[in-house]
């Protein structure tokens, strides 16, 4: 199987991929240690007992999903990949579907919506998304910090780089990479509402509702768009 076209998660990945995991085992910001160490120094693969326990959880998944995850997990074991979440084609297709849904809603607005990307985690998803939304848009970025150098939210977000665009009276779509606890997103929505946004929607690549600590309240006619949800995979992590 060709692993170059897969979106994968390992216990040593950094950034957005590491945040796919509920509790990442380690965080290395520059490189995957397993791919840089000589072969004789690398840690052995998971024990057969642990692999068996993880594969046993697949019985709770639909048959097709279980077969897919089981086969890719076993094939990928030698290269340090724990799970294949979605292939490149699946991601591309889903981003296109979300973009089409978003475009259909925004097309009815009397003036262009303001797309607010949350830097820097969302910029790849933001770029793919706006290229496929075939309506006029205004795009800006905001930086909200609550993770620091780790992957667990501190629960105390703060804006370190604000918008340049005036959102007063505008429909705003906040684009996120991941929504988990809801702390950062709720803080940002309140900030945009204070700036006078008439309605606020959210569009996230990945939603982790099981991690939610704060209910996310949209503004006006706002909607919640999601690419993927982790509910199916929570038992495997």
Peptide bond into 120 cis (omega under 30): yes
* Locus of tokens 């629960």: 155
Of 17, 14, 8, nearest to 75 (Cα)? Answer: 8
β pairing state of 158-161 and 171-179? unpaired
User: Are 23 and 234 a contacting pair, CB within 8 Å?
Assistant: no
Q: Is 180 a catalytic residue?
A: yes
Active-site hit among 13, 82, 180, 207: 180
Of 94, 75, 92, 95, nearest to 84 (Cα)? Answer: 75
Give catalytic residues, as residue numbers: 180
């Amino acid at each position: 199987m060709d692993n170059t076209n897969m979106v994968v998660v390992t216990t040593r990945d950094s950034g957005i991929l590491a945040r796919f995991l509920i509790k990442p085992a380690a965080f290395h910001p520059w490189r995957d240690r397993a791919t840089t160490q000589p072969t004789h120094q690398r840690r052995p693969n998971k024990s057969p007992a642990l692999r068996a326990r993880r594969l046993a959880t697949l019985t709770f998944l639909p048959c097709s999903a279980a077969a897919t995850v089981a086969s890719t997990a076993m094939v990928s074991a030698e290269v340090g990949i724990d799970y294949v979440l979605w292939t490149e084609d699946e991601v591309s297709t889903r981003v296109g579907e979300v973009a089409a849904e978003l475009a259909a809603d925004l097309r009815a607005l009397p003036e262009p919506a303001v797309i607010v990307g949350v830097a820097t985690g969302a910029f790849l998803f933001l770029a793919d998304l706006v290229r496929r939304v075939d309506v006029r848009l205004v795009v800006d970025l905001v930086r909200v910090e609550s993770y620091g150098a780790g992957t667990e939210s501190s629960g105390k977000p703060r804006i370190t780089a604000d918008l340049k665009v005036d959102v007063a009276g505008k429909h705003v779509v906040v684009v996120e990479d991941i929504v988990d606890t809801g702390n950062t997103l709720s803080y940002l929505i309140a900030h945009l509402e204070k700036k006078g946004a008439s309605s606020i929607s959210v569009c996230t690549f990945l939603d982790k509702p099981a991690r939610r600590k704060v209910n996310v309240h949209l503004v006006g006619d706002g909607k919640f768009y999601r690419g993927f949800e982790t509910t199916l995979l929570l038992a495997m992590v």
